[in-house]
């Protein structure tokens, strides 16, 4: 069965890049535009892994991760964070919120897929 990835990013550009990369790698991809939508979509989509941006309107990546981890049903899902640079403070905050790992933007497709493979069975 195809692995299902939920991506959460407010940038249409990045969403499309994620979509193309993930679909080419044989993943099923579900997308949300911000943390609030991410939490909504999560309920119905039941993904195997989540890839989320940090800077987003309405609910940012930190809040979104905390929201996922608070949810009994989904708190064990691996969450990868997209960060623009290897910003130690942001990584740290993301980890504290409950992120599983991170991907540095601009990501190349191999790195993205590697990271996903690493945190999923």
Q: Which residues bind another protein (CB under 8 A)?
A: 10-14, 16-17, 19-20, 35-36, 48, 55-60, 62-63, 66, 69-70, 75-79, 84, 88-89, 92-93, 95-102, 105-107, 118-121
Considering the complex, what minimum distance in angstroms separates the CB of residue 118 from another protein? 6
**Among residues 84 and 110, whose Cβ is nearest to another protein?**
84
Please identify which residue in the block is written with the tokens 């800077």.
55
What number of other Cβ atoms are within 10 A of residue 93's Cβ?
16
**Sequence-ordered alpha helix ranges (H) in the chain:** 12-24, 35-45, 61-70, 88-97, 109-119
DSSP 100: -
**Among residues 16 and 110, whose Cβ is nearest to another protein?**
16
Considering the complex, what minimum distance in angstroms separates the CB of residue 82 from another protein? 8
What number of other Cβ atoms are within 10 A of residue 72's Cβ?
6
Considering the complex, what minimum distance in angstroms separates the CB of residue 31 from another protein? 13
């Amino acid at each position: 069965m195809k692995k299902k990835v939920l991506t959460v990013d407010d940038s249409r550009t990045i969403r499309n890049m994620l979509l193309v990369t993930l679909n080419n790698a044989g993943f099923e991809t579900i997308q949300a535009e911000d943390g609030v939508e991410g939490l909504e979509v999560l309920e119905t989509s039941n993904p195997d892994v989540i890839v989320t941006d940090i800077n987003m309107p309405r609910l940012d990546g930190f809040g979104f991760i905390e929201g996922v981890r608070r949810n009994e049903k989904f708190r064990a899902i691996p969450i990868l964070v997209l960060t623009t640079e290897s910003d130690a403070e942001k990584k740290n905050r993301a980890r504290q919120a409950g992120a599983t790992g991170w991907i540095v933007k601009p990501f190349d497709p191999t790195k993205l897929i590697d990271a996903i493979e690493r945190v999923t069975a």
